[in-house]
Amino acid sequence: ESFLPLKVSAIAPVNIAVIKYWGKRSEELNLPLNSSISVTLHIDDLCTKTEVTFSDGEDDIICLNGIEESVSKNPRLKRCLKIVREHSKKFCSKEVKSKKCKIVSTNNFPTGAGLASSASGYACLAKCLGTVYDAYIDHSIIARLGSGSACRSMYGGFVKWEKGELSDGTDSIAVQVASENHWNSLRVLILVVSSQEKSISSTEGMRRSVRSSPFLQYRVEQCLDERLKLMEEAIQSQNFESFAEITMKESNQLHAVCQDTYPPIIYMNSISHEIVQLITAYNDQKIKVAYTFDAGPNAVLFTLEEYYDELLATLLNYFPPTNSNNSNNSNNSNNSNNSN
């Protein structure tokens, strides 16, 4: 006898990588060339809410930010549904087998603007589908099949995505390195440089880099083992200077790989570069802030509680808020659960 929940809902946060994922060894399964590490951002107005219900409709349906579409047009969603149905403790029941899903998902921030909307989106979906189908696989695998970096949003705090060795991806999963209560003095500031959709998707960007960048190969073979080890140590020992240095070097290297890709991929804009210069000057005597950029122009800054007020004043001095985007231009939070 199976129990059928009528509705499952979840909330999932975004994450920002401090050891970057760039390059797939399998596009079909979203298997990465390297392991990566991220910080989950527990910010109330930067998350996805999703609700999954069983329906008697003809098709699986998704309603994303109010726009409805059939799941059959979206290969990522199809992969997520396929794997939970294949590994469901309930799917053997006739009742569940005949049902389709209705997925309703909303982001409370701009989609596709380098704010990791796919990460929170697929993590949230994975939580719902994993529960509703009672799937006997690591639920971070469901998220990974939607979007690689999403598997890291399944946990709070500091999370490592183990690249895994197996070709079926069963060991390519997320694990928590340290909890959300581990480093309470760490602060995060997001500088929204632009909220426009990015020009080249991360999937397309990675595909081009894997094909054409010799520097990506060097990074994967020569740099990452050491960086992953140093980053884990920096997190465990709360060594901010080391954490910040590796974070900035990783961001620089990701964008250098993009530059080395042919034709080159450019995600940062002139304001992003101004931010890098400002932070570099600010860190002249001592590393007090780290910047990092993903596949878009927006900056995520890490600092410590003791430097936060001074940093914010400096940023507001260099980038005075304009009337129209005053309240939306920066989001801040400390790193503890559901703060601010």
Positions touching ligand PMV (CB under 6 A) are 17, 20-21, 36, 118, 147-149, 202-203, 294-295
Answer whether 5's CB lies under 8 Å from 132's CB.
Answer: yes
Sorted by sequence, the CB contacts under 8 Å of residue 29 that are 6+ apart come out as 144, 145, 168, 169, 172
- Helix 270-282 vs helix 305-318: crossing angle, to nearest 10: 130
Number of H helices, E strands in the chain: 10, 14
Least distance in Å: CB of 319 to ligand PMV? 23
Burial class (CB in 10 A: 0-12, 13-18, 19+), 304: middle
- Residue 21 or 308: the one with the smaller Cβ distance to ligand PMV is 21
Count CA within 13 A, CB hemisphere, residue 39: 30
- Residue 90 or 255: the one with the smaller Cβ distance to ligand PMV is 255
Least distance in Å: CB of 94 to ligand PMV? 36
Least distance in Å: CB of 17 to ligand PMV? 3
Segment holding 118, helix H or strand E: helix 117-132
What's the rounded Cα separation, in Å, for the pair 152 and 144?
8
Least distance in Å: CB of 203 to ligand PMV? 6
- Residue 100 or 207: the one with the smaller Cβ distance to ligand PMV is 207
- Residue 199 or 325: the one with the smaller Cβ distance to ligand PMV is 199
Helix (H, G, I), strand (E, B) or coil at 281: helix
Sorted by sequence, the CB contacts under 8 Å of residue 310 that are 6+ apart come out as none
- Residue 50 or 247: the one with the smaller Cβ distance to ligand PMV is 247
Length of the chain in terms of residues written: 340
Least distance in Å: CB of 230 to ligand PMV? 17
- Residue 116 or 279: the one with the smaller Cβ distance to ligand PMV is 116
Answer whether 130's CB lies under 8 Å from 85's CB.
Answer: no
Distances (CA, A) of 103 to 6, 78, 141, 250: 12, 12, 19, 35
- Residue 96 or 164: the one with the smaller Cβ distance to ligand PMV is 164
Least distance in Å: CB of 211 to ligand PMV? 16
Least distance in Å: CB of 115 to ligand PMV? 10
- Residue 20 or 288: the one with the smaller Cβ distance to ligand PMV is 20
Least distance in Å: CB of 113 to ligand PMV? 12
Phi, psi torsion values for 200, nearest 5 degrees = -120, 120
Q: What is the DSSP letter of 111?
A: T
